[in-house]
Amino acid sequence: MNGIISFDNPWALLGYAVFIPLVFYNLYGKKIQKNLPENLQKKLWASRFFFWLFFAGVIAALAGPRWGFEQEVSPLSSGLPGEYRRSLDVVIALDVSRSMEIPDGQGGAVSRLERGLAIVKESLEAAPGMHLGVAVSRNRGIVAVPLTWDSDAVFAFLDAAGSSLTGKGTNLESLLDAASSAFQSSHPSTKMILLVSDGEALSGSLKAALIRCKQESIAVTSIAVGSDEGMIMPDGGEIISRRDSDAMRMAAGQTGGIYIDGNRPDASGTLAGHLRSLTSGLKTRGNRNEPKTRWFIFAMLAIIAFGASKVSLLKYGEKR
């Protein structure tokens, strides 16, 4: 057994600040009357002792003690002994504003949204085994697909996403906030948002959302689609929409993600390589030792002690 003890909930140990004075009070401040029969005095002392033991055991169990080591194997691993994998959670954040309908993607043959979706799908197919979710936004971001291991459900949504989702307004702050909300705080993982956008924003503060992502250790990898020269907005009169590459670079740079130029022919390969590097970094061969949880030992001790405190009033010393 390893000699180092750690606790999941060390704050629970503050319970001993109540327990220790209570013990002293029972020992010195609340003495058992001398005129009681000796047999009954012994029963009461035994009952108190086991109650103190029960109280101490409950506090220790709540603190979640750990010691010793055990090998931890992730359900995502190949099942080989000694392999561990911590999950990579990826939320795809799709900007579905009207400007994403403009066909100035790679070669001018597809819309910005179509180009972004193609990059994402090709990359995810080349780097499987991730926890995936989808968020979309025009004026307000929503989680369209909660985090799931069912990649088929995610791909089905991406295949269906298109011009039917697009509409007026762009709020990248709301989009990133919605994507961030999809992550499960209780689940230890590496968190990434794949932001698919032309970078144009009509409302919200992208910088504010990036600050929150950084505080929550969420990396934003930006996939910038569209052209720097831009094109006239559909049904927008003379309004020209251009890709804001600076905003997309800022999103990646401030959060530890990478910037993907959606017009490059190797965009999906670059993204897939980045995702694979992250997943391989989360997997290690050999034993990954984690301290064993031991709270149940103290929980059982507390249950036994509580029972003994009751039984002792009936049984202790009756044969004398």
- In this prediction, residue 75 has a pLDDT band, given cuts at 50, 70 and 90, of very low
Fold of the CATH domain 83-284? Rossmann fold (3.40.50)
Residue 157 has pLDDT above 60, yes or no: yes
End-to-end CA distance of the chain: 42
Residue 5 has pLDDT above 50, yes or no: yes
Q: Under a CB-based contact definition with an 8 Å cutoff, are residues 145 and 68 in contact? A: no
CB-based burial label for 65 (10 Å; 0-12, 13-18, 19+): buried
Local structure of residue 27 (DSSP, 8 states): I
Question: What is the reported pLDDT for 20?
Answer: 82
Question: What is the reported pLDDT for 310?
Answer: 75
> Domain extents for the chain?
6-69+290-315, 83-284
pTM: 0.61
Q: Under a CB-based contact definition with an 8 Å cutoff, are residues 158 and 115 in contact? A: no
How do residues 262-301 score in pLDDT, each as one tens digit?
889 999 999 999 998 887 655 544 444 556 777 778 888 8
Residue count (the chain):
320
Those residues with Cβ within 8 angstroms of residue 10's Cβ, 6 or more apart along the chain or in another chain: 63
* Tokens describing residue 229: 């020269």
Residue 98 has pLDDT above 70, yes or no: yes
User: Of 10-19, 39-48, 278-287, where does mean pLDDT reach its minimum?
Assistant: 278-287
Task: Please state, rounded to an integer, the average pLDDT across all residues of the chain.
Answer: 79
How do residues 60-71 score in pLDDT, each as one tens digit?
888 888 877 554
